[in-house]
Chain A
């Protein structure tokens, strides 16, 4: 994603966008980790 962004926007803005994207993912993971884990361990592998 980062090389793709760098083709269209300046590198400093791409850095900020990537940082914001990672931060957003971290926050979402932190908030939504309270949801029950459906897991795929029912397959018993």
Chain B
């Protein structure tokens, strides 16, 4: 299944039409029905899991308000389903075939809902509000992992807005341009010609670097393109969905990079892994490592992603330690030096991010060879 196919686009347009043309009270159900039909067509397993878990979570919380055992049980079941499919996918090798469509996103949304409900931070809402949020087609299969309170606010306040329609259409166009023109054509085709050219020369290390660069840039333009399409369609439907990328390659350090890259996932890990762990253990370093480990495992249940998560986690911890050292160092007064240092920091962070995956893959292969 290609997310660029006309079938997917048609489903998104149909959902947007349903979200406005149906009677007001039926609109959330219209969105749910369109998404259910989409999932029934593309992934029956996903529809089944989403329906069963979402209804179970909703009715469990209705019966047992702010009940710790119920919360833990629900989080455990959702995590177990997520882990089981991830492990199955990792064992099969070809992940996209095995993992139900959008499972990684809606599992984390459900866990967010459970925690917020436990904290008592959710406003009164109906089943249709909740299902509309979970069965929201634009963000179902590519994120962002948007939050329920903001969605509920928009669902209640939304009005037809031609400016939002215009902005939404523009975002969708830019999203498609990023994927088709920049990623599929410029990077995957043209830039890879350059990579092939260097692969045949004596500069093998440079070819490896270019490969890593191509892969990372491709991932960025694809992912941010899909996020743009999701945000664009959401705008058309009257919802302001959180941004997922904020020029990550301009980050001046690795901590800032993770505040700019896949924001919805990194903020999820901050809120539901880092903060609770830091408040219990009082050790921010360990909490950062745990959060980055979960972030790595979210992508794939494998040793190399564990290593990749920890590699980034260690870098963040070291950067925070460096901040403590920096406080006692004399500050640079010369603005040209400052500009140079900042530019060097951007370049270093960019290269760290680009090379993080090949470096950890290499380390992982070495570790496996030794073991």
Query: Is A13's CB within 8 Å of the partner chain B?
Result: no
Q: Which of A33, A36, A39, A43 contacts B3 (CB 8 A)?
A: A39
Q: Which of B170, B180, B185, B219 contacts A40 (CB 8 A)?
A: B219
Interface residue SS majority, chain B:
helix
Q: A29 contacts B181, CB within 8 Å?
A: yes
Contacts of A33 in B (CB 8 A): 4, 180
Contacts of A35 in B (CB 8 A): 180, 184-185, 188-189
Interface string of A17-39 (1 = CB under 8 A from B): 00000100110110011011111
Query: Is A3's CB within 8 Å of the partner chain B?
Result: no
Query: Is B104's CB within 8 Å of the partner chain A?
Result: yes
CA distance A36 to B288 in the complex (A): 38
Q: A38 contacts B222, CB within 8 Å?
A: yes
Query: Is B36's CB within 8 Å of the partner chain A?
Result: no
CA distance A25 to B142 in the complex (A): 23
Q: A38 contacts B177, CB within 8 Å?
A: no
A44 and B300 contact, Cβ closer than 8 Å, known pairs A39-B2, A39-B222: yes
CA distance A41 to B4 in the complex (A): 12
Query: Is A8's CB within 8 Å of the partner chain B?
Result: no
Stretch at the interface among B25-33, B92-100, B337-345: B92-100
Contacts of A45 in B (CB 8 A): 99, 102-105, 142-143, 298-299
Q: Which of A26, A38, A41 contacts B184 (CB 8 A)?
A: A38
Contacts of B2 in A (CB 8 A): 37, 39
> In the complex, given contacts A36-B188, A44-B95, what are 15 additional A-B residue pairs having Cβ atoms less than 8 angstroms apart?
A22-B170, A25-B173, A25-B174, A29-B176, A29-B177, A32-B180, A33-B180, A38-B188, A38-B218, A39-B222, A44-B98, A44-B99, A44-B300, A45-B102, A45-B105
CA distance A28 to B183 in the complex (A): 13
CA distance A36 to B179 in the complex (A): 11
Query: Is A42's CB within 8 Å of the partner chain B?
Result: yes
Contacts of A22 in B (CB 8 A): 170, 173
Query: Is B89's CB within 8 Å of the partner chain A?
Result: yes
CA distance A33 to B3 in the complex (A): 12
A-B contact pairs, 5 of them (CB 8 A): A25-B174, A38-B184, A38-B188, A44-B99, A45-B298
Closest chain A residue to B98, Cβ basis:
A44
Query: Is B223's CB within 8 Å of the partner chain A?
Result: yes
Q: B185 contacts A44, CB within 8 Å?
A: no
Most chain B beta carbons < 10 A, residue from A22, A35, A44: A44
CA distance A33 to B173 in the complex (A): 13
Contacts of A42 in B (CB 8 A): 95-96
